Structure 1
Amino acid sequence: MADIRLRKLANLLVEYSTGVKKGEKVYISAEAVAIPFIAEVARAAIKKGAYVEYNVNIPEIAETLLKEGSEEQLLKPSDSFKLVVDNADVFITAWGTENTRVNSNIDPKKIQTKVRGNSELRKIFSEKMGKGEIRWCGTQFPTHADAQEANMSLREYEDFVYGAGLLDAEDPIAQWKEISAQQQRWVEYLNGKKELHILAPNTDIKVKIGGRKWINCDGRVNFPDGEIFTSPVEDGIDGYITFSFPGIYAGKEIENIYLEVEKGKVVKATASKGEDLLHALLDTDQGSRYFGEVAIGTNYGIQKFTKNMLFDEKIGGTIHMAIGDSMPEAGGQNRSAIHWDMLCDMRSGGKIYADGELFYENGKFLEEVLKK
């Protein structure tokens, strides 16, 4: 029997996050280990009168392609993703795998080539999301491998995943609506501001945000959620930043990432581990040395780093920045085949100023600022 919290999650994704309506085309995608997730989401969508299609990803095939595929094969756009881009009203995906290290021995350049192959489809998908033509939500299905990555048992990890989404509550949707209202206050404060100044250990960076829109992440795109973000002005970032936690990409870890930025572009990048992959990602395309996102994590129910950015970027008391593709809905104009988040802990001395006003310190918003 399925975990009742999984059924609650499926209902929330269909009812609240994506608002599925009768007659809409809903596409669902996950790895084979997450078939119970696909089944529950399909059940909820079918009850709404939607037309359901699904795709089951098999990691062994993806591994074979990366290891043995030619450049021509790697660059071929995904037909299954094209079906989604061309036809879906709603796209619901779940992360969750049997082996988080499946790509550990893959040549970083091959990963880069595969990413480039879907760059045009990703661009169209991003634009459609920005216009509201496709509604997408991604979430986590708990697996043994992801639990091990988080140093938890499967049962502990299930409790962590479902707890972070407030799925133990009698009415999780009501809880997320309340969070949405709380976060909206800070969205309204930051809308209209021109520049952020972020200070933290070995970090001093200014980020221009004038003319950009802040987005309230309240469980409608990522789930669980808990952040506010915008896309910075493309040539408006200067300074340096050190990311406190390892960056994870395709199951590989990059540790102690340090970036120097001039006029929006990463001009120097170092890492104590995985620096070759870091440089490969930065050199993916013309947009991959520029930033697509700056964000503040607001989910104080998530405090443990689990090597899963779906949760880690939401940790209350952190910020994150992403190189690559920006969000059209926030006014972002940078385009790239990648969008890769990196996380900075602000809980020990971190400060953020907006147009010279301190509004965030030691990992917390300063409520008195809103009372002025």
Structure 2
Amino acid sequence: MTPSSDFQAKLARYAELLVRVGVNLPAGGKLLVNAPLDAAPLVRQVVRAAYQAGALDVRVNYHDEHLGLALLEDGSDDAVGFLPDWAAQEAQHMLADGYARLAIRGDDPALLKHADPERVARRSKLTAQAMREVSAAVSSFAVNWTVAAMSTPAWARVVYPDLPEAEAVARLWDDIFKVTRADLPDPVAAWGQHTADLARRAEYLNGKQYAAVHLRSGLGTDLTVGLATGHIWQGGAERAKNGVVGVPNLPTDEVFTMPHRDRVDGWAVASKPLSVRGQVVEGIRVRFENGKAVEVTAQQGEDTLRKLIATDEGAAHLGEIALVAASAPVAQTGTLFFNTLFDENAASHIALGRCYSTNVQGGDDAERLKAAGGNDSLIHVDWMIGTPDTDVDGVTASGEREALMRGGEWVI
């Protein structure tokens, strides 16, 4: 089926949005695009938009997730545990050379459903160790970067299992265009207003410097998240160390900061399934005590969740707390996307594992980051706990409480 001219126009606007708002590529800039094979039509538009913006060089790395499945199902134990020393060197060199990064996601959420969880965990940890320097540089905004999504048959079938494949793919594209505002006449201008709104809330919270935030929901979440000393709330647009201001996630509706790794207490109950390591984990309930996950259960995929938390010492602690209005565009679709980029922007959430060094004053210094309460880990996995009845309070150092959200909506 040949795509309609209307779809092609939206795809072109979406590509322009990724280049001009997402990575905000300046004239003379360089860009690395990581994308699945199915993303070729979108990637071609992105490359055109990048060169029209004055790019000096654009590089594309395509990947096929089924090659990883083949390794896990048919590879020897030695093969699963092998990764050449040079595997991360290209990415390290491109970061050092100032290449902005655009990652396009469209993975099959259930691809590894029947894979051995032990092998999945082993391979995931090995890859995370090899890419640790790259991940740390990206999370600290050494360069401008963004993560976005595209509709693929494998993903669309999971999101809309009752629709024929072609209709499911088209429906998912409509969702993507809607929540990223690419269906508007001027998406770039719309994002300017949206990021200004997020910045205003972040500025308000930074001025308050609460000691903690307390979240409660009808599902059973009753969680006090102590905040890192000198924490910084962020949201929407971010300035990278190279001076470029971009939007790391498209879509994004979160305002987020750094928890203190040892000051999180209470129950966190997931409001949506978590798609992680090619598997779906549902019905998550975790109790934190002195910052650490001490009780962990899930109705489905509990073994995957436990292996995730056992990745390293920091994986059982939090690296992020994010507040999202229940009326955010992703939530308004009423769709469960089985994709963290989307689902995390439909609900307030927390993240197990590594913190963002930009979320605390002086975070580039490892000792200051640790002293402030920052958490280190090979993983950073967001999962959703917000609901339309979630209440959030800011708690001052003296114990006074101030309303931040009521019924899932901002009141500031």
% identical aligned pairs: 26
1:20 to 25, 29, 39: 25
Distance 1:330 1:126 in 2: 16
1:325 is displaced (CA, Å) by: 1.5
Give the distance between the partners of 2:106 and 2:114, measured in 1 at CA: 20
Residue 29 to residue 221, structure 1, CA distance change in 2 (3 Å): same
Matched, 1:128 2:137: yes
Gaps of 5+ in 1: 368-372
Looking at structure 1, the residues matched to 320 and 268 of structure 2 have their Cα atoms a distance apart, in angstroms, of 14
Q: What residue is the counterpart of 1:208 in the other structure?
A: 226
SS at match of 1:266: strand
**Inter-CA distance 80–28: structure 2 relative to 1 (3 Å threshold):** farther
Match of 1:196 in 2: 213
Q: What pairs up with 1:213-224 in 2 under 5 angstroms?
A: 213-218=232-237, 220-224=247-251
Match of 1:91 among 98, 101, 106: 101
Q: Contact conserved, 1:205 with 1:241, CA < 8 A, in 2?
A: yes
* Paired amino acid for 1:24: G
Q: Which amino acid in 1 is paired with 2:384?
A: L
Aligned to 2:118: 109
Please, what TM-score do these two structures have when normalized by structure 2? Answer: 0.83
Is the aligned partner of 1:364 residue 2:405? no
Q: Equivalents in 1 of 2:156, 2:64: separation in Å?
A: 20
**Residue of structure 1 equivalent to 2:192:** 177
CA offset digits 1:215-258 (Å, max 9, x no partner): 11257101111111112111111111111211111331111100
Where does residue 240 of structure 2 map in the other structure?
none
Q: Which residue of 2 aligns with 1:54?
A: 60
Conserved 8 A contact 1:71-1:113 = no
Quick one: distance in 2 between partners of 1:130 and 1:30?
19
For residues 179-225 of structure 1, the C-alpha deviation after alignment (integer angstroms, 9 at most, x for no partner) is 11112222122212221011113121111114211111257101111
Contact 2:21 2:191 in 1 (8 A): no
User: Which is further off, 65-74 or 18-27?
Assistant: 65-74
1:323 is aligned, of 331, 348, 352, to 352
Q: CA deviation at 1:77?
A: 6.0
How far residue 78 of structure 1 moved from its aligned partner, in angstroms, is 8.1
- Give per-residue Cα distances to partners, 1:115-146, cap 9 Å, x unaligned: 22233454322432354322221111112222
Q: CA deviation at 1:168?
A: 1.4
Structure 1: distance between partners of 2:15 and 2:344: 22
Q: Is the 8 A contact 1:123 1:337 kept in 2?
A: yes
Give yes or no for the alignment of 1:290 onto 2:317.
yes
Decide which of 278, 281, 301 is 2:329's aligned counterpart.
301
CA distance in 1, matches of 2:262, 2:84: 30
Cα offset for 1:148?
2.1
Residues 83-118 of structure 1: CA deviation (Å, up to 9, x unaligned): 123213211111114x44221111112121122223
**1:359 positional shift:** 1.7
Q: CA deviation at 1:59?
A: 2.0
2:194 is paired with a residue whose SS is helix
**How far, CA to CA, are the matches of 2:258 and 2:196 in structure 1?**
21
Distance 2:55 2:195 in 1: 27
1:82, CA displacement in angstroms?
A: 3.6
Query: In 2, distance between residues paired with 1:77 and 1:216?
Result: 37
Q: SS at 1:142's partner residue?
A: coil
**Whole-angstrom CA distance in 2 between matches of 1:178 and 1:80:** 40
Q: Which moved more, 1:236-245 or 1:111-120?
A: 111-120
CA RMSD in angstroms comes to 2.0
1:71 CA drift (Å): 4.8
What one-letter code is carried by the residue in structure 2 that aligns with 1:364?
E
Once residues 15 and 84 of structure 2 are traced to their aligned partners in structure 1, the CA distance between those partners, rounded to angstroms, is 29
Shift of 1:80: 5.6
How far off is 1:23 after superposition? 3.6
Task: Report the AA paired with residue 359 of structure 1.
Answer: L
Specify the SS of the correspondent of 1:3: helix
Shift in alpha-carbon separation, 1:266–1:67, aligned structure 2, 3 A = same
Q: Confirm or deny: 8 A CA contact 1:302 1:311 kept in the other structure.
A: yes
Please name the residue that 1:370 is paired with: none
Superposition pairs for residues 144-159 of structure 1, below 5 Å?
A: 144-151=153-160, 153-159=168-174
Aligned to 2:284: 257
Is 1:352 the counterpart of 2:357? The answer is no
Aligned to 1:30: 35
Change (3 A) 1:46 1:216: same
Residue number among 67, 75, 79 corresponding to 2:73 in the alignment: 67
Decide whether the 8 Å contact of 2:33 with 2:59 is kept in 1: yes
* Alignment partner, residue 5 of structure 1: 10
Q: Secondary structure at the match of 1:326?
A: coil
Report the Cα distance in structure 2 between the residues aligned to 1:314 and 1:27, rounded to whole angstroms: 25
Secondary structure of the residue aligned to 1:215 is coil
Contact 2:110 2:280 in 1 (8 A): no
